[in-house]
Chains A and B, each alone.
Chain A
Amino acid sequence: MRKKWALSGMAVMMAFGVAACSKSSENSENSGSTSAASSGAVQTASSDSAGGTPITYTFGRNIDPNSDPIKLLESQTGETLADNRWTRLFKEKLNVSVDYKMVTASPTYDQQFKLAMASNDLPDMFNVTSEADMKQLMDAGALEDLTDAYKQYGSELLKSIIEAETARVFEPVTKDGKIYAIPLKMPSTNGYNHLWIREDWLTKLGLERPKTMDDVYKIAKAFKEGDPDGNGKPDTFGLQIDNAFRENMKGFFWGYGAEASPDMWVERDGKAVRGFVQPEMKEPLAMLQTMYKEGIIDKEFGTKDNAKSMESVVSGKTGMFYGPHWSAFTIDKTMQNDPNAKWIVVPLPSKDGSPTKVSLTIGKDSYVAVKKGTKNPENLVKMFNVYVEALFGKDAEFSKYYGENGVENIWQMSPIYTLDPMIDLKAHQEIKAAIENGTTDSLGGTAAGFYANIKSGMWTFEMMFGPKDTPFAYVDQSYPDQIVWNAYLGAPTPTQITRGSSMDELIITSLTAIIMGKTDADQGFDKMVAEWNKLGGDKVTQEVNAELGK
């Protein structure tokens, strides 16, 4: 039993931990010149050995020291956040000790961090959670330049992980061609938004899997009107929606073209433009408006957050929703309410049935920077080297450092961390191949852990990483060919800082009003765009393109 938990925990934490953090990065926009650090001169980091003079760094870390995994590890082995296998490893290999000066989780961490900035009381090394803070720190000259440290000491393994998807990951931490922080790179595949459908309902109502957005509408309508739960009452919804629909059902908007990526910057005629003001948004909004009018979607969505709204999915009243791969943990309970429930994930439908473009931002948790004047800043890079070596290197002890004995996120208990961006996709591919070839016994790493969970009957893992009709089956099919990267990763521009919140409020309220039929999807939308531009949208677009050198 314990063993099973160990492995399951691993993946859960990956899902939750990673999602939690990458969320914050997706909502903000970034700056920085495109110059970035190319992965040019690669030198082997020969100096990663013990024997240096002992040194202690104060640290600011965005993590909740009260969280269960940490307390669990403490009760099992006596290890704490301040003193655990990771910190001991850094001590042993680099003679570096860590002293946590500031440790609490967002959003309190962000508060603490701003107060520390205002009172000029930053630790030696710290998480920077927003691009805006990053920019302020760089502009104030408060950070150590890490360009040479990274180029000179960064191991090839480290560079291969951090720059795996694109070297643009450094954009937000670059000023005048210099790097001022190391991104905590995470799998970008967490940014996917999948379409989940109750297959048993499809079968019952004699419906085909959706290929086009019209199919989605037809299915939703049938789910609403065809009494799919068979209780004789019209008490079902066709499609789940909540108050953060811009982010939580972005897959729906993607169906109408990559330009309709609400919270992204997208390319249009060689320029970066904001997704939610593109005319491609009109059609999906009109569709949602129709659904609202016909009662296909929940009329209360404006006041329901995702967790609340998903309750109707779990209780078997809603049979279709857009969500990330870890939605599996939420809908796992559907089967308790209805043993016949069968969930599938289908490739994202599009307007004309062609492959849908998936808009992703580069996955990362936050950044780690070094305060100006701190001794041997290259030690940060060396710590990263030690970290990736312990998890993904030749002599890696994966489960010891990743999670074991029921403590799922040991990998997060290091002051710095980063994960192989392909970790989930690779696991899926290996499991699929192994099942086909009958070699499941020789699986290793994450794949072995996931597979053990599947074997032990954990539905969530089969649902997420299994070979067919799963989120990662779709990722495998679409990544990286159908990916469109966010066109702008830098910090909020001056106008965004001053006007951003009122502009954002305008968008949220206008889009909600359109869906609720209070304003027209065509003129109402145009009016919103005009107001947005007047509030500073035009200026923001100019500023962003200036940053990008376009």
Chain B
Amino acid sequence: MLLRQTRGQKIFSVFNYALLTLTAVLCLLPLIHVIALSFSDNAAVSGGLVTLWPVRFTWEPYAYVLERSAFWKAFGVTLQRAALGTAVNVLLVILLAYPLSMSGEKLRARTLYVWIFFFTMLFNGGLIPTYILIKEIGIMDTLWALVLPGAVTVFNLILMLNFFRQVPEELEDSAMIDGAGHWRTLWQIYVPISTPAIATITLFCVVGHWNAWFDGLIYMRDAAHYPLQSYLQTIVVKFDFQTMSATDAQRLAQLNDRSVKAAQMVVAAVPILLVYPFLQKYFVSGIKLGSVKG
């Protein structure tokens, strides 16, 4: 900016930085507090001494969590689910968005198709019928029950479809003139230049699968097959003596269940923490192009 800032602008600027910093700190504090709890010893936690820094640092809550094979089992289920589920989601979104981004000229049934998909965003049959269906096609208690019912993510489809529409038409036409069919146009023209959008959608799908919990509780009839968030739901949110075994009880005499909960939450959040900067650089442009069209 070449213009010299006026006095008013300077005041605003100071105020603005202060406000934004304060907000960012407020957003972060609860998370830092929980991390601090997870590294503090029992007496400090129950004495209410922990605020933003671990008091009497200990690895014990993590040792306790990491020793639990059930936690890792659930972690593994979630990893598989996120990998398989995201692959299916993204592939389907690409395959669907391409034809639906065509004009009515090039795909005459486009409007009908769009409504078929859009309608499912507004209307569903409910829990019981879906459950019966899952049972009838024999995927109950398998990974597929967590992947297939939500395979078509309509919201992401809309995002992708809008992104594809911005692909310059000349690119497509020249490819067509070169004799490329729709398949080759899609894979060789559309997909490569849509990396930001695909990365964004991938991020959404990974996060969605990582965070899903309700379907796991419903479709996994053996609790040993729960994905991570379902497993956490049964212990973190509703923690009581009923789900606690004797060894738990004894051990928690030395540990503090708040620290243990905190440790589990931190461990469960770490993978998201890892994926997030990796995909972040595409994210902003992906969002921008997918949703903002003039």
Contact = CB atoms under 8 A, between A and B. Distances in A.
Contacts, number: 101
Given A108-B217, A119-B135, A311-B46, A13 B246 contact: yes
Contact of A66 (B217, B231, B242, B249): B231
Interface in B254-286: none
A132 B291 CA distance: 50
A118 B133 CA distance: 12
B223 A111 contact: no
Nearest to A307: B240
A101 B220 CA distance: 10
B221 A332 contact: no
Contacts of A111: 217-218
Interface residues of B, number: 34
A333 B42 CA distance: 12
B58 to A, nearest CB: 17
B223 A68 contact: no
A315 interface: yes
B46 A66 contact: no
Contacts of B242: 20, 23, 105-106
Nearest to B242: A20
B221 A16 contact: no
Given A20-B241, A23-B242, A101-B221, A119 B70 contact: no
A104 B243 CA distance: 11
Contact of A12 (B224, B231, B238, B250): B250
Contact of A65 (B222, B238, B241, B247): B222
B69 A71 contact: yes
Nearest to A112: B221
Interface string A1-16: 0000000110011001
Interface of chain B, main secondary structure: helix
A104 B226 CA distance: 10
A102 interface: yes
B250 to A, nearest CB: 7
A105 B226 CA distance: 12
A75 B68 CA distance: 12
A409 B247 CA distance: 11
Contacts of A118: 128, 131-132
Given A66-B223, A307-B241, A12 B246 contact: yes
Contact of B135 (A69, A121, A408): A121
B246 A16 contact: yes
A152 B106 CA distance: 77
Contacts of B224: 65-66, 103
A19 B244 CA distance: 12
Given A64-B243, A65-B223, A115-B218, A12 B132 contact: no
A72 interface: yes
B135 to A, nearest CB: 5
B240 A103 contact: no
Contacts of A108: 217, 223, 234
Contacts of B253: 332-333
Interface residues of A, number: 43
Contact of B46 (A19, A100, A315, A406): A315
Contact of A409 (B74, B135, B241, B246): B246
Nearest to A63: B223
B110 interface: no
Contacts of B128: 115, 118-119
B73 interface: yes
B218 A69 contact: no
Nearest to B241: A16
A110 to B, nearest CB: 11
Nearest to A67: B245
B173 interface: no
B223 A12 contact: no
A9 B220 CA distance: 30
A107 B233 CA distance: 11
A112 B214 CA distance: 12
A329 interface: yes
Nearest to B224: A65
Interface string A84-107: 000000000000000011111111
A104 B221 contact: yes
A129 to B, nearest CB: 12
Interface in A299-355: 305, 307, 311, 315, 329, 332-333
Contacts of B220: 104
B248 A68 contact: yes
A104 B242 CA distance: 13
Contact of B73 (A64, A66, A75, A100): A66
B238 to A, nearest CB: 8
Contacts of B70: 66-67, 71
B222 A104 contact: yes
Contacts of A112: 218, 221
B239 to A, nearest CB: 8
Given A12-B249, A16-B244, A307-B241, 5 more contacts: A8-B246, A64-B234, A66-B68, A119-B131, A315-B46
Interface of B: 46, 68-70, 73-74, 127-128, 131-132, 135, 217-218, 220-224, 226, 231, 234, 238, 240-250, 253
5 contacts: A12-B246, A65-B224, A67-B70, A103-B224, A305-B240
